[in-house]
Amino acid sequence: MLDHVSITVSNIRVAEPFYDAVMAALAVTKMSSGEAWISYGERCDADHPDLTYLLIRPGPVPEAAYGRHWCFKAQLREQVDTFWRAGLAAGGSDDGAPGLRPEYHPHYYGAFLRDPDGNRIEAVCHRRSA
């Protein structure tokens, strides 16, 4: 459904290790970085319309940052676990340990973190367990 997403952070150098860790846990490639951006995933084009792109950029973080929420798909439950551990090790804070969330559906396996600016970042695997 999403083509691309931009997340604003107050300090891109503080955010970079966090997003490097959680994106790597989900097997998402870091494409480039500079003083004013970090990019992950791949941009869509006419031959690859199904791709998704994430841009991290610096700027003033709105006061309502705590209410923002982005969820990334994981192919395996183990990736959700790795995402959560990697995010904590890279400066994120716990906002919900990995586990089933049957209130969403019986196989919803997710984990929640807060990035260094308080953005809520989630990973979810919708597959049945093996």
User: Residue 73: which H helix or E strand, with range?
Assistant: strand 69-73
Residues near 28 by Cβ (< 8 Å), separated by ≥ 6? 40, 41, 54, 72
DSSP 3-state of 128: coil
Domain span at residue 34 reads 4-125
pLDDT for 66: 63
Residues with pLDDT less than 50, the chain: none
At residue 9, what are phi and psi to the nearest 5 degrees?
-130, 155
- Distance, CA of 45 to CA of 56 (rounded, Å): 20
130 within domain boundaries? no
Total domain count for the chain? 1
Q: What is the pLDDT of residue 63?
A: 66
- The pLDDT value recorded for residue 111 is 98
Which CATH number covers residue 33?
3.10.180.10
- pLDDT of 5-32, one tens digit each? 999 999 999 999 999 999 999 999 999 9
